[in-house]
Amino acid sequence: MSNDVLTVEGLRVRFRGQPVDLIDGVSLSIPAGRTLCVVGESGCGKSVTSLAVMGLLPRRSATVTAGRIRFRGQDLLGLPEAALADLRGNSMAMIFQEPMTSLNPVFTVGEQVAEAVRRHTGCSAAAARDRALEMFRRVRMPAAEKRLDEYPHQLSGGMRQRVMIAMALANRPALLIADEPTTALDVTIQAQILELMRELQRDIGTALLMITHDLGVVAEIADDVAVMYAGRVVESGPVAQIFNAPQHPYTLGLMGSMPAIAGRAGRLLTIPGAVPVPEAMPPGCRFASRCPFAIPACDAQVPPLVRGPDGHAHACLRAPLEDHVGQDRTGDDRTGHDRTGRGAA
Amino acid sequence: MTDIILEARDLHRRFVTGGGLLQRATTIHAVGGVSLRIRRGETFAIVGESGCGKSTLARLLLRLIEPSSGSVHYDGRDLTALPPRDMRALRAQMQFIFQDPFSSLNPRMTVDRIVGEPLRLHLGLSGAALRARVAGLLTRVGLRPEHADRYPHEFSGGQRQRICIARALASGPKLLVGDEPVSALDVSVQAQIVNLLEDLKADLGLTLVVIAHDLAVIRHMADRVAVMYLGEIVEMAATEDLFTAPRHPYTRALLRAIPIPAPGGRMSGPAPGGRMADAGGAEPAGAVLGGDIPSPAAPPPGCRFHTRCAHATALCATTPPPLAEVTPGTQVACHHWAALPPAADAALRVPARSPAAEARFALYRAASERSRTTTHRETAP
């Protein structure tokens, strides 16, 4: 759709010395003004995907082996570095988890925000400073004018993240990528930052790609969700569909392993084992080695991402589970091969 | 009378930082007058945000650090008065699990030495008996005995936390204190460790003290909860009471801030244009708590929460409220608790899961229990 600010199609990324593509055919798209949350656990490839979009993958060790990344109709993968640098911080911006390591400790935060403005607009130093102050007020920095001249170490974690947001949004980007922006923050501060991001996104109309492992944050901020596991999107769709009718066993396992904030509901569900290492990646569905519903066919083929009419897509041969599970137990022939130990390094 | 395994009486701990030629030393009052009683066999949780002193309190409870004043009593014995030798012997009964399984294991020791050390020190085991016991402990926490000769770096985060738990269990403790024992782990691994801790508690009759910032983990695991803010306990109650009838304004703000993992959760109301209060300002009920946590080096006078509290009055700015019992089993440190909006209105509200989702979770639960009991894959037509 031409309305999409960002489209990623069939992205594959391989790290040097590894036998398989870590990112294995990821497709995503985000329309203007919408929020897509990419959710998954460590090593699922959610951060690598976002770095690929920003053109920030380490060139020596990671290669995009296939796929297309289109940003406002422009193919990013073919762009020279100088053109990418003009886009980054300007029409597409990124916020990282730990604001302390993203800010330069020897410049004041005001200088750093102003620099981002000058780099891309070429305005005067005074105008850039004015813009920085305006942004500080918009992100509700307490005592905004005074904070402009302070250094990152003088600010709290929540205030540093406000600086990052001010810097990222100063040039009114069409796309904002936020990688676990509230994970390092306390819960009351997280609530402030999430509310701020929603409000600013609405005002500016930015498309937001949010990377998180926290399903609570997803429910709060997402319009659409993509669940990733071991470098593939296993389920995606509108946020209500994902929560109200989860299809993929990994999504179920992930949701079920969260303690219910509504109160104890028996033992937590678990996903046995661990994410497979690249050297032992299952040939078919990458979740098959840990999936309680897996059948031999799951090992034989990569399940395609099947999209329903409501935009809800899943990559599971066994979905919908209620149609498939139960019937195969009538014979009760447990002659399948032993699957313990596989993938659980 | 309830059976008290551990009691803290008016614990204080001050740290002095900085100080030198050019800098004046600052004193941080990390824990300021905490008293609590932990019942034998319960899971007691301490919750709070960064800098609230919960980790310091956890260390004080096991005398891993010395209090500035106050005392800790374990089974009626004053730990703070014990000579080092007796304290060391008593440590077999009380063990600590740290947050970060990466830094709390010696990278140059193999797993059998890590887990075996308490067995040698406290129980005097050696040789085959030691090896058998280590193998038993590893199995108990879900590791394989063949892992014994490996080094910590060969394990994932979840497995390392299992090693830490095996080490903590080795000396046969009665009390386990975990400082954020699951918060460094991915959610599916976290679930495995939470289940493991609960199984161990039930099987071995342990008392658990869990320090956490994740309220969902606390609601799942704990029988009672203490909420800390800037070194003080502001509310202590049975877990269900805390979540369904929170009394202290800070507890209420914490509950409001939890992102609810269900569409139509916390932020589903009318779009916020300014729902967030400005730092330090008054805020309407239901608002996100404004402002930052004050520095523990310069805590506000009076009630430490008054700078962020919508209900604060002049009294709060000058006089610290005592932690007082307001209903049986619930203690609150707030001058105005009785005049606040009804506690039930502040209860955490979570929309129910859809029936379709519930049905699939039930399928998942049944299938994973089946595959746990059999090592064979179910086959399909």
Tokens representing residue B266 in the block? 């916390």
Q: Which residues of chain B fall short of a pLDDT of 70?
A: 1-2, 265-287, 373-381
Q: Is residue B320 part of a domain?
A: no
How many CB atoms lie under 10 A from the CB of residue B313?
Answer: 14
List the single residue in A with minimal CA-CA distance to B277.
A192
Strand partners, B9: B71
Q: Is residue A119 part of a domain?
A: yes
Q: How far apart are CA A85 and CA A7, in angstroms?
A: 19
> Letter for the amino acid at A257?
S
Long-range contacts, B277-282 (Cβ 8 Å, 24+): B277/B310, B278/A140, B278/A142, B279/A140, B279/A142, B280/A142, B280/B307, B280/B308, B282/B310
In this prediction, residue A7 has a pLDDT band, given cuts at 50, 70 and 90, of: very high
How many CB atoms lie under 10 A from the CB of residue B1?
Answer: 3
Q: Is residue B256 part of a domain?
A: no
Nearest to A44 by CA among A175, A181, A182, A180: A180
Angle, alpha carbons B43-B47-B50 (nearest 5°) = 145
Tens-digit pLDDT profile for residues A176-217: 999 999 988 888 889 988 999 999 899 999 999 999 999 999
Q: Is residue A105 part of a domain?
A: yes
User: Within B205-238, where are the H helices?
Assistant: 215-221
Assess B238–A contact: CB distance below 8 Å, yes or no.
Answer: no
Q: Is residue A37 part of a domain?
A: no
Q: Is residue A290 part of a domain?
A: no
Q: Is residue A75 part of a domain?
A: no
The domain containing residue A115 runs over which residues? 99-170
Determine how β-strand A207-212 pairs with β-strand A35-39: parallel
- Report pLDDT for A140: 86
Which residue would you say has higher pLDDT here, A335 or A180? A180
Q: CB neighbours of A181 closer than 8 A, spacing ≥ 6? A: A95, A96, A97, A161, A164, A165, A193, A197, A210
- Report pLDDT for B270: 36
Q: Is the pLDDT of residue A333 over 60?
A: no
- Report pLDDT for B373: 67
Q: Is residue B303 part of a domain?
A: no
Enumerate residues 235 to 264 of chain A having a beta carbon within 8 A of any beta carbon in chain B: 239-240, 243-247, 249, 252-264
- Report pLDDT for A332: 39
Q: How far apart are CA B111 and CA B101, in angstroms?
A: 13
Count of structural domains, chain A? 1
- Report pLDDT for A261: 86
Which residue would you say has higher pLDDT here, A233 or B377? A233
Q: Which residue has the tokens 């926290």?
A: A214
Q: What CATH number corresponds to the domain at position B127?
A: 3.40.50.300
Question: Torsions phi, psi of A88, nearest 5?
Answer: -65, 130
Tens-digit pLDDT profile for residues A244-285: 999 999 999 999 999 988 888 788 998 988 888 888 899 999
- Report pLDDT for B266: 62
Assess A205–B contact: CB distance below 8 Å, yes or no.
Answer: no
Q: What is the ipTM of this complex?
A: 0.85
A214:B259 CB<8 A: yes
Enumerate residues 135 to 164 of chain B having a beta carbon within 8 A of any beta carbon in chain A: 156, 158
Q: Is residue B11 part of a domain?
A: yes
Q: Is residue B27 part of a domain?
A: yes
Assess B23–A contact: CB distance below 8 Å, yes or no.
Answer: no
Q: How far apart are CA B138 and CA B118, in angstroms?
A: 14
- Report pLDDT for A248: 96
Q: Is residue A295 part of a domain?
A: no
Residues of chain A neighbouring B189 (CB-CB closer than 8 A): 41, 274
Q: How far apart are CA B344 and CA B113, in angstroms?
A: 52
Q: How far apart are CA B300 and CA A238, in angstroms?
A: 45
Tens-digit pLDDT profile for residues B101-150: 888 899 999 999 999 999 999 999 999 999 999 999 999 999 999 989 99
Q: Is residue A183 part of a domain?
A: no
Distance from CA of A86 to the nearest CA of B (A): 33
Q: Is residue B21 part of a domain?
A: yes
CA atoms within 13 Å, Cβ hemisphere of B294: 20
- Report pLDDT for B288: 78
Determine how β-strand A306-307 pairs with β-strand A313-314: antiparallel
Q: How far apart are CA A213 and CA A40, in angstroms?
A: 5
Count of structural domains, chain B? 1
The domain containing residue B144 runs over which residues? 4-222
Residue pair A223/A50 in contact by the 8 Å Cβ criterion: no
List the single residue in B with minimal CA-CA distance to A142.
B279
CA A194 to chain centre: 15
Q: How far apart are CA A209 and CA A190, in angstroms?
A: 17
Distance from CA of B274 to the nearest CA of A (A): 9
- Report pLDDT for B64: 94
Tens-digit pLDDT profile for residues A121-142: 999 999 999 999 999 998 988 8
Residue pair A226/A242 in contact by the 8 Å Cβ criterion: no
